Structure 1
Amino acid sequence: MSFSSEVKEELSRHLPTARHCQIAETAAILSLCGQISEKDGTIRIQTENAYVARKYFTLLKKTFNIEAELAVKLNQKENTYLIRVNDREETCQILQAVKLHETDRQLAMPIPAVVVQRQCCKRAFLRGAFLASGSISDPNRFYHLEIVCPDAPRAEQVQELLKNFGIDARIVLRKNHHVVYMKEGAQIVEMLGIMEANIALMNLENVRILKEMRGSVNRKVNCETANINKTVSAAIRQIEDIRYIEETIGFSSLPEPLEQMARLRLQYPEASLLELGKMLTPVVGKSGVNHRLRKLKEIAEDLRRKQGGEVL
C-alpha cells in the first residue's frame, strides 16, 4: 500500500462526532467529486478509491440516515465506485445541509463560508477534500502533497482554508485542473495534523528525523573529508619543499630548529601540526610548527628562484 493510500485509509476511519463537522466533510467530497444527474437531478459521486467511497457512504448514513446506492464497476487496473442518492427529497436534504444549491444541474461553488465557520469544520472540510481528490508522495523519496480541484474558485477556497492554519500552499494549473500543493516537509506534517491523520503524521516525522540525521552525518563526513584532503595536500607540498632543500643546500645549512622540523616532517608525513610540535625538543605549539614550516617553504621558493626553477 502506498503512503497516500495509508493516509486515506486512516482518514476514512475517522468520523467526526459533531454533525456540523460531518456536514463540512460531506460538503468537501461533493464539492470536489460530486455530480448532479442530468436526468432527474439526483446527486452522485464517482471515485476509484475505495476509502473515499466508504467514507462518503458512512457520512450519508450517520449524518442524514440515508442509505445510498453503491455500484462497483470492475476494471483490470482499478475498480470504479459509484454512490448515488436516487431519492429526490433525500438529495434536497443533503444539498440544503451542505448549502450546495443546484443551478442548471451543476453544484453551486464554492462551498458557502457558513459551512466552514468553525475551526473544527475547517479541519473536517480539508480532510474531505484530501480524501476526495488529494494525494501525498512517499516521504522516503520526496515531500509533496496536493489536492486537485476542478476550477479556480474551489482551489482558492482550499488554499484560503490552509492559510487559516498557517500553511502557505501554492496553486498551479495542470491541464484543465487547478492543483493546490505544498512541498515542505513541515507543512505536510502540519496538514496531516489538521486532518487528524495522527498515525501517518508519526510515520512521516520518523522519516524526516532519519533524513535529517543522514544529512547531518553526510555533511560532517564531507567536512572532515575536505579537512583531511586539505591537510594531506599541505603535507605533500611541505615534503616537496623539504626534499628540494635537502637536494640543493642540505639540512646542515639550516638553523637547528628548522633542520629538526624538516627531518621530523619527512619522518612523519602523516602527522598533524600538533603531533609534530610534541615531537620537537623543546615542545612547540601548532602556531610555532606552522611558522617553521612556512620558513622552510620560503627557503625552498627562494632556492627555486635562484636555480631558475618553478616556485610551488
Structure 2
Amino acid sequence: MSFSRKVKEELVSQTGNGRHCLIAEFAAIFALTGKIRKDRYGDIYLEIRTENLTVARKSYILIGYAFCVKADIRVQNHNIRANSTNYCLIIKGNRDVLMVLKAIKVIDDTGKLWGAYDKVHQLLVQNTCCKRAYLRGAFLVAGSITNPQKAYHLEIATASEEYARSLQKLMQSFSMDAKIVLRKKYFVLYIKEGTQIVDFLNVIEAHIALMDFENVRILKEVRNSVNRQVNCETANINKTVTAAAKQIEDIQYLQEHMGFSQLADGLKEIAELRLEYPDSSLVELGKMLSKPIGKSGVNHRLRKISEFAEQLREKNGFVAAK
C-alpha cells in the first residue's frame, strides 16, 4: 500500500468536530468530483463520481452524517482487463438536493445559484476546524504524497487555477507556503519541505501518518548528519595525511642534501620526531619535544623546514641548469 493510500485510509475515519465541519469536507469533495444533473423528467439530482473507493466511502459517510440522506450507489466496471472501477453516488429528491446545495453554498435560501460550486465559499471555512475539514476533503480527492523514504513531496491537483489559489490561501492561514505550477491541464498545489508536509498532515488530522512520516524524516536527518560528520572527518584525515607526507618528503630532502647539522635545535628535533612518528598528529609531536609546545608551534617549525627545503630545491635546480 502506498503512503498516499495509507493517509487517505486514515482520513476516512476522521469526521471532524461538528456538522459544520462535515459540510465543509463534503463541499470540498463535491467541488472536485460532484455534478448537478437532470434526469429525463427534468428533475435535478446530485452525482459524485470517482474511481477512488476511499473517496466514495467517505462521501457516503458524510452524506449520511451531515444531511441524514441516503445516497444511491452505483458501481461500474469500464474496463475489466484494467480493473477500472467507477463509483457513483447519487442524491435524488428535490427536497434533499436543495438542502445539500444550500448547505454547501451552491445556492442561496431563495434557490438562486450562489456561484460556481468549484470554489471555496468563505462561509464554509470561517472556523479553523472547518478549514481543516475542507483541506482534508480536497486532499482525499485530489491529493497525493510521496513516500518520505524516497522524497518529500505533497500535492493537490485541480483543473481550476482559481480553486488552486483558494486552497493555497487556506493553507497560508496555517502558515504553509504551498506553490502552484501548471502541469498539462492541471494546476498543481505542492509542498516540498518535510516540516511543512508534517504541518499539513497535522492540519488534516492524519496523526498516524504524521508519526510515520516524522519517524522516517528523523532517521534520514540523523543519517545525513552522521554522513556529513564522517565525510568531514575523512576529509580532515586525508588533509592531515597529505600534509604529513609532504612534511616527511621535505625533511628527507634536507637530510639527503644538507643534513640536519645546519638546522636550529628546535627544527632538528621536530624533523627527527616527524620521521620517527609519521602518523602522529601535530599535537602529539608537540608533546614529545624536550620542551613541549602547542599545535601552532609545531606547525610553524614544520613550515620553516618546508621553506628551507623549497629554497634548497630552487638552488639545486638553478645550479644543475647552469
Comparing 107-116 and 43-52, the one that deviates more: 107-116
1:85 to 60, 83, 91: 91
Unmatched 5+ residue regions in structure 2? none
- Is residue 2:98 matched to residue 1:95? no
- 1-structure distance, mates of 2:305, 2:126: 79
2:287 counterpart of 1:278: yes
In percent, how many aligned pairs have the same letter?
51
**What's the secondary structure of 1:9's corresponding residue?**
helix
Determine if contact 1:277/1:284 at 8 Å carries over to the other structure: yes
Do residues 173 (structure 1) and 179 (structure 2) align? no
2:71 matched to which residue of 1?
68
Whether the aligned pair in 2 keeps the contact of 1:146 and 1:182 (CA below 8 Å) is yes
Distance 1:79 1:279 in 2: 80
User: AA paired with 2:13?
Assistant: R
TM-score by length of 2: 0.91
**Which residue of 2 is the match for residue 56 of structure 1?**
59
Number of the residue aligned with 1:207:
216
**Offset at 1:96?**
1.1
The residue that corresponds to 2:16 in the other structure is 16
Distance, in Å, in 1 between the alignment partners of 2:176 and 2:299 is: 54
State the secondary structure of the residue aligned to 1:180: strand
Alignment deviations for residues 257-309 of structure 1 (CA, whole Å, 9 cap, x no partner): 22221121111111100111122212222122112111211111111111017
Q: Which whole-Å CA distance do the structure 2 matches of 1:112 and 1:246 have between them?
A: 87
Question: Residues 156 and 189 of structure 2 are in contact (CA less than 8 Å); yes or no, is this contact kept in structure 1?
Answer: yes
* SS class of match (1:83): strand
- In the alignment, does 2:30 pair up with 1:30? yes
What is the one-letter code of the residue matched to 1:58? Answer: I
- Would the alpha carbon gap of residues 197 and 92 (structure 1) be closer, same or farther in structure 2, given more than 3 Å must change? same
Q: Would you say the 8 A contact 1:70–1:81 is kept in 2?
A: yes
Report if the CA contact (8 A) 1:11-1:131 is conserved: yes
Q: CA deviation at 1:78?
A: 4.2
Superimposed CA distance per residue, residues 150-199 of structure 1 (whole angstroms, 9 cap, x where no aligned partner) = 21121111111111111121111122221111111111111111111111
Contact 2:32/2:118 (CA < 8 Å) preserved in 1?
A: no
Partner of residue 193 from structure 1, selected from 169, 186, 202: 202
The offset of 1:109, in angstroms, is 3.7
Deviation, structure 1 residue 36: 2.1
- Paired position in structure 1 for 2:148: 139
Counterpart code for 2:254? I
Which runs of no fewer than 5 residues in structure 1 stay unpaired?
Answer: none
Identify the residue that residue 161 of structure 1 maps to in structure 2. Answer: 170
TM-score (norm 1): 0.93
> For the residues of structure 2 that align with 1:150 and 1:94, how far apart are their CA atoms?
23
Runs (4 or more) in structure 1 with deviation over 4 Å come to none
- Give the secondary structure class of the aligned counterpart of 1:73: strand
Distance 1:284 1:169 in 2: 58
Contact 1:273 1:289 in 2 (8 A): yes
CA distance in 2, matches of 1:211, 1:230: 28
Matching residue within 107, 120, 123 for 1:111? 120
* Counterpart in the other structure of 1:287: 296
**Do the aligned residues in 2 keep the contact of 1:21 with 1:124 (CA within 8 Å)?**
yes
Q: Distance in 2 between matches of 1:65 and 1:277?
A: 85
Check conservation: 1:143, 1:183, Cα contact below 8 A: yes
Alpha-carbon distance between aligned partners in 1 of 2:196 and 2:139, rounded to the nearest angstrom: 15
| 1:26 partner letter | F
Secondary structure of 2:150's partner?
A: coil
2:193 counterpart of 1:184: yes
**SS of equivalent residue, structure 1 residue 115:** helix
Rounded Cα–Cα distance in structure 1 between residues aligned with 2:38 and 2:284: 87
Provide the C-alpha distance between the structure 1 equivalents of 2:186 and 2:38, rounded to a whole number of angstroms: 22
Cα RMSD after superposing both structures: 1.8
